[in-house]
């Protein structure tokens, strides 16, 4: 493992220190920032193991998932895996398209978890966790557990999956367009070395951040706080008070690590008492709307933020706040989230089938430069709105 990484003296202000740019030992490491192809592109949102949706979307875009021929280059925004029924199948298809030179893909936080060996909600398919599932409590306080119906990989392809994921860049760029999984953050981009193994580099960065938190006593204090509340993994064991050390740990481990920032965004502190349960644990920080400060000409396309394509759900916060499901965001209308929550289909299949109007969430592609959205399960193209103009107030 290389000695470079994030300087652990970095703070929560989102300004990581420079990283040693010297290459890792060994031959031909992948570049962490790579160029986008010229010309028209189709940019596909988070797939989350929904192989049938991906095949349908490729057909709607004029390609053939069986022969691997595409009508135009495809760019994937990451989070190919987890929660859905066939993550290995998605990886096989995407890998075939990437290796044929017809597609590109950036790494998402779900791929990063696999490279780090972190067992998170939804990735039991890779780690052989038969108990992996979605958990929640209903209005009566009754606990529920829904096992993910994900198929495991063939044991012979586990190493190949790791190698493919570790070859993915963190961002794809050209003068008019930038693609990153969660957050375009200049300080984090500048902190990256030119090339290297993402899995090794992010682990080195985390070790350095944790060393600083350990020296400050934050890690030990946060561990003691979690111990009192079932490790913060029980939705029914809501902490009855604010946990300041856990909050500081969450924010620092995220914002001081450029790999984390680019793949899962910046985090902001929330008010005491407003902690919430999502993704299998109680959280004391929330995703920061970084796009509200993005004021550049180049468009940025991301996934990650579980955008809705229907009316807002009462009581649920739409993190990617925009005027409509088809609007660009940011002060100049140059940021677009193409994740329309296909990763929640496992819930709908389990309880309601497809519903009277089909699935609530869909797998989407943003066609560039047309700026139209195409879905796997709906006819036609939807023209996006607000590009290049300030959002309505």
| pLDDT tens digits along 260-279 | 999 999 999 999 999 988 87
* All structural domains of the chain with their residue ranges: 1-30+185-285, 37-182+294-393
Hey, how many other C-beta atoms are within 10 angstroms of the C-beta on 227?
Answer: 10
Hey, how many other C-beta atoms are within 10 angstroms of the C-beta on 38?
Answer: 8
Output 116 or 142, whichever has higher pLDDT: 116
Q: Check if the beta carbon of residue 129 is closer than 8 Å to that of residue 95.
A: no
Distance CA 109, CA 112 (A): 5
For the chain, the average pLDDT equals: 88
Q: Is residue 355's pLDDT more than 80?
A: no
Q: Which of 48-62, 102-116, 237-251, 310-324 has the lowest mean pLDDT?
A: 310-324
Output 11 or 134, whichever has higher pLDDT: 134
Output 386 or 235, whichever has higher pLDDT: 386
Q: Which distant-in-sequence residues (6+ apart) come within 8 Å of 248 by Cβ? A: 213, 218, 222
pLDDT band with cut points at 50, 70 and 90 for residue 376: very high
Residue-wise pLDDT for 133-177, tens only, equals 888 776 777 777 889 989 999 999 999 999 999 999 999 999 999
Average of per-residue pLDDT across 7-34: 47
In the numeric block, the tokens 């957050």 are attached to 183
Partners of 180 in beta bridges: 171
Distance CA 286, CA 164 (A): 30
Q: Is residue 126's pLDDT more than 90?
A: yes
Domain 37-182+294-393 sits in CATH at 3.60.21.10
Q: Check if the beta carbon of residue 62 is closer than 8 Å to that of residue 72.
A: yes
Specify the pTM. 0.87
Out of 2-6, 10-14, 267-271, 388-392, the most confident range is 267-271
Q: Which distant-in-sequence residues (6+ apart) come within 8 Å of 229 by Cβ? A: 237, 239, 243, 282
């Amino acid at each position: 493992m290389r000695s470079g990484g994030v300087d652990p003296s970095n703070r929560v202000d989102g300004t990581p220190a420079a990283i040693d740019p010297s290459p890792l030992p060994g031959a031909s490491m992948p570049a962490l920032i790579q160029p986008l192809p010229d010309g028209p592109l189709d940019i596909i949102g988070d797939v989350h193991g929904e192989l049938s949706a991906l095949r349908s979307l490729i057909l709607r875009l004029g390609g053939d998932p069986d022969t691997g021929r595409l009508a135009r280059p495809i760019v994937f925004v990451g989070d190919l895996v987890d929660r859905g029924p066939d993550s290995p199948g998605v990886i096989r298809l995407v890998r075939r398209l990437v290796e044929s030179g017809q597609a590109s893909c950036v790494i998402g936080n779900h791929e990063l978890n696999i490279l780090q060996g972190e067992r998170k909600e939804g990735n039991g398919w890779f780690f052989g966790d038969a108990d992996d599932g979605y958990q929640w409590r209903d209005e009566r306080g009754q606990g529920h557990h829904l096992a993910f119906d994900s198929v495991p990989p063939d044991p012979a392809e586990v190493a190949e999956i790791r190698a493919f994921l570790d070859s993915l860049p963190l961002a794809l760029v050209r003068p008019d367009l930038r693609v990153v999984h969660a957050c375009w953050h200049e300080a984090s981009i500048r902190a990256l070395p030119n090339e290297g193994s993402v899995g090794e580099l992010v682990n080195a960065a985390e070790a350095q951040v944790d060393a600083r938190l350990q020296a400050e006593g934050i890690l030990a204090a946060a561990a003691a706080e979690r111990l009192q509340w079932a490790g913060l993994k029980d939705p029914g064991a809501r902490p009855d008070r604010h946990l300041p050390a856990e909050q500081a740990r969450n924010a620092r481990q995220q914002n001081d690590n450029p790999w984390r920032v680019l793949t899962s965004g910046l985090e902001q502190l929330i008010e005491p008492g407003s902690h919430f349960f999502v993704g299998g644990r109680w959280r004391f920080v929330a995703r920061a709307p970084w796009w509200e400060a993005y004021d550049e000409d180049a468009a940025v396309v991301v996934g990650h933020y579980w955008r809705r394509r229907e009316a807002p759900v009462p009581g649920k916060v739409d993190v990617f706040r925009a005027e409509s499901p088809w609007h660009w965001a940011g002060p100049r209308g140059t940021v677009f989230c193409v994740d329309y929550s296909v990763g929640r289909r496992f819930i709908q299949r389990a309880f309601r089938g497809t519903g009277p109007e089909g699935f609530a969430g869909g797998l989407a592609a943003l066609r560039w430069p047309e700026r139209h959205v195409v879905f796997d399960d709906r006819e036609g193209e939807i023209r996006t709105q607000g590009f290049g103009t300030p959002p309505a107030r």
